[in-house]
Amino acid sequence: MISEPVRVAGTSCRALAMPPLGSADWSPVDALEGQWWVVHTKARNEKALAANLDRMDIGYFLPLARVRRRHGGRTTYVRLPLFPGYLFLCGGLDERYATLMTHRVANVIKVPNQARLKDDLRQIYRTVSSDVPVDVYPGIRCGRRCLVVKGALKGLQGVVLRRRDVCRVYIAVEILGQSAEVELDPVLLEVIG
């Protein structure tokens, strides 16, 4: 029987037990039994699906990152999925079917190498549970084509040249053989194609 959800800073997870005392490398992933699946959710349904799985007593792991947002001069912190559009499910075929029936799922992906995924999830858990800042823009990297979705340059398309605290986006006018670079906050970008 699965216990109450384990809520640790940076995660949302339903696990069997709390960590043993003195176990620094324990993660809720170790407490869950069953086959792991990668669930591709419908847009912005990760937290809602996690809530549904909580109600159904189904084991899952949803890594969340703490992100600073500025709205109207105020700074707030929100928790966003580390991997937008994905949640990790633990269970059998019945749990997989119940997850699909929530109508919050686009696809459930079978994981051929279960041991490797568990190792990866343990590392992710340790990362999001720490105080180390975590990047929540994994798709925005060198060479990726992006669309500016907010701000004065909304609608502009370009290619990311490098990532640091800000992105440098390469914008080309191919027919002229000319280009320009713009520094943009990754919050303003969305990966395309």
Q: Is the pLDDT of residue 19 over 50?
A: no
124-148 residue pLDDT tens: 888 787 766 666 666 777 788 888 8
- What angle (nearest 5°) sits at the alpha carbon of residue 15, between those of residues 12 and 19? 100
Domain boundaries for CATH 2.30.30 within the chain = 145-191
Mean pLDDT of 26-49: 89
Phi then psi for residue 33, to 5 deg, are -120, 140
Give per-residue burial for 96-109: e unless 16+ CB within 10 Å, then b.
bebbeebebbeeee
Contact residues for 116 (Cβ-Cβ < 8 A; gap 6+): none
Q: Is the pLDDT of residue 180 over 90?
A: no
In this structure, the number of other CB atoms found within 10 A of the CB of residue 186 comes to: 18
Tell me, what's the pLDDT at 89?
95
Tell me, what's the pLDDT at 18?
42
Domain boundaries for CATH 3.30.70 within the chain = 5-129
More confident of the two residues 172 and 169: 169
- Under the banding of pLDDT at 50, 70 and 90, the label for residue 105 is very high
pTM: 0.68
147-160 residue pLDDT tens: 888 888 888 888 88
Architecture per CATH, 145-191? Roll (2.30)
Q: 46 to each of 27, 79, 106, 124, how far by Cα in Å?
A: 20, 12, 11, 17
Tell me, what's the pLDDT at 36?
94
* Average pLDDT along the chain: 79
Bridge partners of 114? none
Tell me, what's the pLDDT at 108?
96
Out of 2.60.40, 3.30.70, 3.60.40, 1.20.5, select the CATH number for domain 5-129: 3.30.70
Residue 148 C-alpha from the chain's centroid: 20
* 85 and 41 Cβ atoms separated by less than 8 Å: yes
Tell me, what's the pLDDT at 95?
95
- Under the banding of pLDDT at 50, 70 and 90, the label for residue 3 is very low
